[in-house]
Amino acid sequence: MINQDLYDMEGMYQCKADLLRLEILYKYGGVYIDADMVSLEKSLDKVVSMADDTKFLIMFEPDTKDKPYSVIGNSFIATTPGHPLLRMLIMYIRNIYHHKRPYHGVEWVTGPLAFTKCLVHPDMPMTIPPTSYFYPQFHYVPNPDAINLDMFPDSYAFQFGYTCSGLEGWVKNNNRCKKALDCAAHKRRKDWPFGVLEPFPENTHEMVEYGEIPKVIHQFVFQDGSGKPERWMRTWYDHFLRSVGDGWTYKCWDIESLKGGKYFCPHMYRDDRQMDEDAVEILAMEVIYRHGGYYVPLTSFYSGEGRLPKLFEADTHVSGSGIFGSVAKGRKLFFQLKGAYHGSSTNRFEVRYFPPRRLF
């Protein structure tokens, strides 16, 4: 490494990454992409081919009102080995590092502002595609769950801004292998919080196509004490059972009662009460698949008076109002569960009756 000494003395990993990307690209060439950028699953061939003449491709970040001028981003770089602009950047950083590093932020020394001063101000020959290709929005995203990536049909990636957005806590709670059954490391793991990993069955002939759904209401409660929505839960375990009768029962699952079983997706589940909405719905599908009955979200409540909603009079598999039900080992539910594992939207149940939250 040309800047090995700077890399060794640098204490911030963000700055080390800035130095290292240039050295690796200078030696090997290729495409560098920041770890906080999410692919939108498009081939990069078209973008990279735009730099056939300059052999160096980079983009401006989105403009914001606090920027006095447009700034080059260093989160996506495509180049050939030994490119002179890479060496120029490496040497520029070397020359300014000791003068600026004690007094300025990383962005001025090894990051975007350093790139801008080195490449843009002297008007160096390089290829600059539209900003929206890789930076459709400025990378301050404190809640990644609020981003709908379908809103960026012309983009190749989306950057969430790990450092800028302070996503350490979010990543800790959401960082999980989403393909454990296909992962060489995780498919052998035996110590998942809720139980052991069970492969999806290849033979589906023994699954149930038709039958009566068991008269059981299943709910999941991961909150402690005052955090439990007791008023809404009571509408099911008390009002619903007293009003309807006819052999109906209620099952409330908590973390302890869920531990120790076999699961198709144990990598999705956490025992620290931090499961997201998708994980809870997939867990509900697993429980209903194994036991049969109806999953009722905590946000739905019953307010009928002795009337059984039509939703609970159907056979095999029904859904509505965030509620779904199935016989145990139901074939249709199994394929919906498998689709969820492979990344399909969890909103895959056909809504037949009732507005959200309330059943009459």
Lowest mean pLDDT among 5-19, 60-74, 248-262, 302-316: 302-316
pLDDT of residue 143: 74
Q: How far is CA 302 from CA 37, 106, 231, 270, in A?
A: 43, 56, 11, 29
Q: Which of 12, 6, 26 is nearest to 99 (CA)?
A: 6
pLDDT of residue 350: 40
Instruction: Please give the Cα distance from 265 to 262 (Å, whole number).
Output: 9
Predicted confidence (pLDDT) per residue in 163-208, tens digit:
666 667 667 666 677 677 778 877 778 788 899 888 899 888 889 8
pLDDT of residue 352: 32
Instruction: Please give the Cα distance from 86 to 97 (Å, whole number).
Output: 16
Domains in the chain (CATH in brackets) are 4-172 (no CATH), 180-359 (3.90.550)
Residue 310: pLDDT band with limits 50, 70, 90: low
pTM greater than the 0.85 cutoff: no
Residue 64: pLDDT band with limits 50, 70, 90: low
Average of pLDDT values for 67-74?
84
In sequence order, what are the residues at sequence separation of 6 or more whose Cβ sits closer than 8 angstroms to the Cβ of residue 356? 299, 300, 321, 322
Predicted confidence (pLDDT) per residue in 134-146, tens digit:
998 887 777 777 7
Predicted confidence (pLDDT) per residue in 320-329, tens digit:
557 888 999 9
Let me know the angle formed at the C-alpha of 59 by 162 and 38, rounded to the nearest 5 degrees: 35
Instruction: Please give the Cα distance from 358 to 236 (Å, whole number).
Output: 12
